[in-house]
Amino acid sequence: MLPERFVEKMNLLLQDEADEFLAVYKEEKANGLRANPLKINPDSWAKTAPFSLTPVPFCPTGFYYGPDEQPGKHPYHAAGLYYIQEPSAMAVAEALRPAPGETVLDLCAAPGGKTTQLGAMMENKGLLVANEIHPKRVKALAENVERLGLTNTVVVNETPEALAERFPGFFDKILVDAPCSGEGMFRKEEEAASFWSQAYVEECAARQRRILQSAYAMLKEGGILVYSTCTFSPEENEQTIEWLLETYDDLRMMPIAKTGGMEPGRPEWTKTNRAELEHAVRLWPHRIKGEGHFIAKLQKQRPTPLWNGRWGKANAPKAAVRLYRQFEQTALRIERHGTIVSFGSHLAMLPERCPDWSGLKVIRAGLHLGEVKKERFEPNHALALALKTDEVNHVLDLSSTSREITQYWRGETLPTGGDRGWLLVAVDGHPFAWGKEVKGTVKNFYPKGLRRL
């Protein structure tokens, strides 16, 4: 059931178009997945995938899948070949499109739909900071970052204000995918509709402004900000951008290409009626196949002193690094170069040009290599998912339709007859998890919390 006042408000805003807009709430939602170019070639994979996929017009790695399919339950999902994402949400990272090597912040990042898309665009080069304020939601973000094989990403659990204090003028590109009243989620999550009120819309708008103040402070001169919501209210969209342009007179709106049915922002829904608001885009559920989004892109012009904080330094004990290097020499065919840091008994390799994070809450810093346990090195699941099968000496490749892959996913051991030590269990050639083959049996190293029970 749609809130009555929401229906009245949309009728006023959309007038002749309102019936068409409101009718979509009676239809089935569209389902989408975004193929992960860090692991597969999206186009060729889509042709052979075990789902019926059709392209999303505004995202080259995005596909719609049918209402009866369940890609979330397939082992390819666990192997990080794709991310299940509401189709219109796929347009947001496309508008920012960071290049490999840039310094990028995703300020409101959980559960990681846009982070994983940005990381793939960056080809794991440069630095991507994925921040989430809520301690529970940040866990899902870290899991998705690992599953998709991101190695240049630092997952952080901070407020935007704490980050702004530490990183003024630091980032080339920032995404604020803001917490919003979620009017575009009413079809996907019925609960979102029960939260809705005009007062809630206004509360969200005030919070968005606070978050944007922090984002602005963290941009370099010439840096680019993308702001997005999954709601339709002008208060949280055009009016938020109007406020931003009035507050920071050096911010310039940049046009976003209006592909695949996207429409311009609506200046007439603001006080000042600035024509440049048309550079923003609206994805309407009655115009595209998806739930709806608003996206705006802006560039900072004001001279901003460059960040001059401290950089991250290697601090891992030599003995621990030696154990990792021994593991690398026996199990892998590659050597990874980078700054290795320790968190207790755990080792991680930092992304390029990574700042010092002391005093801030970091959940995951770059690539989690593994842990030293009783003088031995145990590789982490994240390392398995960041490798390619030809980078590992021993691979146990299982078919996605085999009983063994389901057994392994459940946490069972597998009899193989060999004794090769660490090996990479793969599904149809894609890394799935670590296993340790000892005296004829592969011991299961699929993380307990991720098992499919």
Ligand X SMILES: C[S@@+](CC[C@H](N)C(=O)[O-])C[C@H]1O[C@@H](n2cnc3c(N)ncnc32)[C@H](O)[C@@H]1O
Tell me if residue 204 is catalytic.
no
- Is 264 annotated for ligand binding? no
- Is 132 annotated for ligand binding? yes
Cβ of residue 100: shortest distance to ligand X, in angstroms? 21
Output the DSSP codes for 234-299.
GGGTHHHHHHHHHH-TTEEEE-----TT-EE--GGGSSS--GGGGGSEEE-TTTSSSS-EEEEEEE
Q: Which token pair is 89?
A: 């949400």
Q: Which is nearer to ligand X, 175 or 425 (CB)?
A: 175
* Identified catalytic residue from 59, 180, 230, 354: 230
Residue 111 as a binder of ligand X (CB under 6 A): the answer is yes
Q: Pick from 32, 42, 126, 160: which binds ligand X (CB under 6 A)?
A: 160
Residue 191 as a binder of ligand X (CB under 6 A): the answer is no
Distance CA 164, CA 240 (A): 20
Distance CA 286, CA 146 (A): 35
Q: Which is nearer to ligand X, 164 or 383 (CB)?
A: 164
Q: Which long-range contacts (CB under 8 A, 24 or more apart) does 195-199 make?
A: 196/3, 196/6, 197/3, 197/5, 198/5, 198/9
Residue 109 as a binder of ligand X (CB under 6 A): the answer is yes
Q: Give the residue among 285, 292, 248, 239 at the shortest CA–CA distance from 266.
A: 239
| Residues between 124 and 143 with contacts to ligand X, criterion CB under 6 A | 132-134, 137
| Strand partners of residue 373 | 376
Whether residue 404 contacts residue 415, with contact meaning beta carbons closer than 8 Å, is answered with no
Alpha helices in 273-397 (DSSP H): 318-331, 381-386
- Is 429 annotated for ligand binding? no
Q: Which is nearer to ligand X, 86 or 172 (CB)?
A: 86
Residue 265 as a binder of ligand X (CB under 6 A): the answer is no
Cβ of residue 83: shortest distance to ligand X, in angstroms? 9
Cβ of residue 141: shortest distance to ligand X, in angstroms? 8
Cβ of residue 128: shortest distance to ligand X, in angstroms? 13
Residue 207 as a binder of ligand X (CB under 6 A): the answer is yes
Q: Which long-range contacts (CB under 8 A, 24 or more apart) does 353-356 make?
A: 353/103, 353/126, 353/127, 353/311, 354/127, 354/154, 354/311, 354/312, 355/167, 355/170, 355/307, 355/309, 355/310, 355/311, 355/312, 356/309, 356/310, 356/311, 356/312, 356/313
* CA distance to 239, 281, 447, per residue, from 17 (Å): 21, 17, 50
- Is 375 annotated for ligand binding? no
Q: Pick from 179, 260, 411, 447: which binds ligand X (CB under 6 A)?
A: 179
Cβ of residue 20: shortest distance to ligand X, in angstroms? 26
Cβ of residue 338: shortest distance to ligand X, in angstroms? 27
Which 3 state secondary structure label does DSSP give 48? helix
- Is 110 annotated for ligand binding? yes
Q: Which is nearer to ligand X, 113 or 312 (CB)?
A: 113
> Which positions from 86 to 105 touch ligand X by CB under 6 A, shown as an x/- string?
---x----------------
Distance CA 453, CA 451 (A): 6
Q: What does DSSP say about strands 103-106 and 171-177: parallel, antiparallel, or unpaired? A: parallel
- Is 111 annotated for ligand binding? yes
Q: Pick from 96, 108, 217, 262: which binds ligand X (CB under 6 A)?
A: 108
DSSP code at position 362: E
- Is 108 annotated for ligand binding? yes
Cβ of residue 145: shortest distance to ligand X, in angstroms? 11
Whether residue 394 contacts residue 424, with contact meaning beta carbons closer than 8 Å, is answered with yes
**Single-letter amino acid code for the residue at 215:** A
What's the number of CA atoms in the CB half-sphere (13 Å) around residue 75? 24
Residue 195 as a binder of ligand X (CB under 6 A): the answer is no
Q: What angle, 0 to 180 degrees and rounded to 10, lies between the N-to-C axes of helices 238-247 and 198-218?
A: 40
Q: Which is nearer to ligand X, 111 or 370 (CB)?
A: 111
**Single-letter amino acid code for the residue at 234:** P
Q: Which is nearer to ligand X, 30 or 320 (CB)?
A: 30
| Residues between 333 and 392 with contacts to ligand X, criterion CB under 6 A | none
DSSP code at position 185: G
| Binding piece for ligand X, criterion CB under 6 A, among 13-21, 107-115, 342-350, 409-417 | 107-115
Residue 313 as a binder of ligand X (CB under 6 A): the answer is no
| Binding piece for ligand X, criterion CB under 6 A, among 63-71, 109-117, 235-243, 374-382 | 109-117
Distance CA 129, CA 160 (A): 12
- Is 113 annotated for ligand binding? yes
Cβ of residue 418: shortest distance to ligand X, in angstroms? 41
Which 3 state secondary structure label does DSSP give 430? strand
Q: Pick from 114, 220, 293, 300: which binds ligand X (CB under 6 A)?
A: 114
Q: Pick from 113, 126, 234, 285: which binds ligand X (CB under 6 A)?
A: 113
- Is 412 annotated for ligand binding? no
Binding site for ligand X (CB under 6 A): 89, 108-114, 132-134, 137, 160, 177, 179, 207, 211
- Catalytic center residues: 230
Binding residues, as ranges, are 108-114, 132, 177
Binding residues for S-adenosyl-L-methionine, as ranges, are 108-114, 132, 177
